[in-house]
Amino acid sequence: MNSKLLLGALALGMAGGALAATDYPSGYTKCAQVGSTCTMSGTHTVALGKSGSFVYTTLSGSFTCSTALFPSNSFTSSAWCSVGPTASASSSASSSTSSSVASSSSSKSSSSAAASSKSSAAASSSSSSKASSSASSAATSAPASTATRPQLSAAVAANFTVAKYLGSWTPAAISTPSTPDYTVSSSGSYKTVQSAINAAINAGGSTRKYILVTAGTYNELVFVPSGPPITLYSTGAASSVKIQIATSALQSGSEYAAMVKASNYTSAGQSWVNSCAGKGSAIGTTCSAAFIIQNTGFEAKNLTITNSRVESGSGTDQAVAVYTVADQVHVDNVRMYGNQDTLWVDGAGKRFYAQNCYVEGDVDFIFGAGTGVFDNCQINYTAARGKNGSTIGAPSTQAGNYGFLFNGGSFTGSNGASNVSFARQWPQSSLSSPIGKMILRGVKIDAFINTTTPWKDWSSSNPVNYGTTSDPYLGEYLNTGAGAAK
C-alpha cells in the first residue's frame, strides 16, 4: 500500500443489521445510509449504491447522504453512501434506531462478500483502539505529482467528475421490463438480435423500444441505426447472452460480404454493409466493428459483445467489438472483448456512459474522440497473444471537449501482462488538432502498469502532452493498488 495514503477508522450508523458487500464498491469505505450524515476529511469520490449497482459523485467534508447529490440513480432510502479509497469518514444516523460499529478500510481493495463480513466483525471488536487513532489518520494526502505521473489536486479533480463529463444528461437506471416490446429467442418471431432491432426501427415514433434477448450465442453483426431510442437487455448474467462475429480490418471487401449480408438490415445498415463490402483488399478499422451504435439514447444491459477475430501477433489486425458514434449511449453490466481496438468511442462531444462494465483488449483498446465515462468498470489488459508494453487507451479528444474518465473500478492485467501504459494520445488524421484526454480517479491499479512512465508517446513527432496543472489532459487522482503512484 502507498505509505503516503493514510487510511483511518470509520464509525458508521447501520439500521437493521450488517451491510451487504454489494452495497458498496470494492475499494470503498461504507459510510452512511440515505438520510444519515457522513463526515470525511477532504474531497473524495463518493458512491451511492445497493445490490451491486452504483452511481458516483465528488463531495467534500460533512454531507447528508441523499439521492439528490448524485447525477443519476433510482435508489430509495435503503441505499448507502460509501467513500472512495484512502478516505477517512464517520457517519451519524438521523434515526435514533441506528447503532454504531467500527470498520477498518485497510483491506478493502481485495474485499469479497465473505472477507468484508469478516473484516467488519474484526473491526467491531477493536473499535475502541481504532477510535483513538482516528484523529491522527483523518488527514488524507495524495501522492506527490511528478513529471511523468501528474496527480490532480482536490480543487482540479472537482472539475473531472461524472456529472461534469455528462453535462446536461443525467442517465436514469436502465429498465428491464418483464414484458418487452420485442423478444429475441431461438423459437420466437425474432431469432436474431438484428431482426428485432429492425422491427423496432421500422415501428418509428419517438417512444423507447425495449428488446429482451434470451440466453444464447448470437453470431451476427449488429447495427443500431438512428430512430426511436432502443434498450437491448437480458434479465440474466451478462455472460448468458453473447453477441459476436469475427470481422477484421484486414479482411477484404469480398470476405466481409460473404460474412455479412446487407439484406439483413434496414436501409442505414444496408448502406453500411455495402460500403464495407465494396472496399478492396482491406476494409479498415471502422468496417471491422462487430456492434455499431448510431442510435441516440441507446441502452444496453446484461450482455456480452465480442469481436471473435483471432488476431495476428503483429498488432496490426484491428478488430473493433463496439463502435459507438451516437450521443447519450448508456451501458450497464456489459462485457466487451477484443484485442486491438476493442471499444471505439467516436464523435467529438458524443457521450458514452458505462457502469459496472468489463472491457478487455491489448492494444489501444479504448479509443476515440468521444466523451467516455467508465463508472466502476474493470479494464483488463490481456497478454494472451504475447503483447506487452502496449497501451490501454488511445484518446483523440479535441480541445474544448472532455475525453475519457475512469471513475472507481479497476485496471487489471492477465496472462502475464506487464509494462503496460495507461494511454497514448492518438493524432487522428480526420480531426483538427486532437489532444487526447484521459483521467483516472479512485481506480485500483494492479502491478502490470509501467509505474515510472505510464503515459506513452504516440511517436517521436507526437510526444505525450500532459496539459497543465490547472487544465490537465492526462492525470490521476487518489488511485490505489500496486500500480498506483507512490
Look at residue 415 and give its three-state secondary structure: coil
Write down the pTM of the prediction. 0.75
Query: In degrees rounded to 5, what are phi and psi of residue 113?
Result: -60, -40
Query: In degrees rounded to 5, what are phi and psi of residue 254?
Result: -70, -35
What 8-state DSSP symbol labels residue 377? Answer: -
Return the number of other C-beta atoms located less than 10 Å from residue 236's C-beta: 12
The stretches of 52-188 forming alpha helices (DSSP H) are 113-125, 127-137, 154-157, 162-166
Query: In degrees rounded to 5, what are phi and psi of residue 60?
Result: -130, 140
pLDDT one-digit tens code per residue, 103-128: 333 333 333 333 333 333 333 333 33
Report the range of poorest mean pLDDT among 46-60, 216-230, 280-294.
46-60
Catalytic positions are 364
pLDDT one-digit tens code per residue, 152-161: 999 999 999 9
The string of DSSP letters for 26-51 reads: TT-EEEEETTSEEEESSEEEEEEEET
pLDDT confidence of residue 71: 65
**What does the pLDDT average to over 318-338?**
98
Query: In degrees rounded to 5, what are phi and psi of residue 393?
Result: -110, 160
Q: Over pLDDT 90: what percentage of the chain?
A: 68
Pick 182-477's CATH classification: 2.160.20.10, 2.60.40.10, 2.40.50.100, 2.40.50.140.
2.160.20.10
Q: Say which amino acid occupies 480.
A: T
What are the Cα distances from residue 86, in Å, to 51, 110, 118, 479?
A: 23, 14, 20, 9
Q: Which of 315, 337, 465 is nearest to 403 (CA)?
A: 465
Question: Which residue do the cell numbers 451487504 mark?
Answer: 20
Residues 6 or more apart in contact with residue 117 via CB below 8 angstroms: 18, 21
pLDDT greater than 90 at residue 33: no
Q: Domains of the chain: which residue ranges?
A: 10-141, 182-477
Confidence class for position 84, pLDDT limits 50, 70, 90: confident
Query: In degrees rounded to 5, what are phi and psi of residue 194?
Result: -65, -35
- Rounded CA gap, 312 and 362, in Å? 12
pLDDT one-digit tens code per residue, 126-144: 333 333 332 222 234 679 9
Report the range of poorest mean pLDDT among 47-56, 200-209, 261-270, 319-328.
47-56
- Rounded CA gap, 207 and 370, in Å? 26
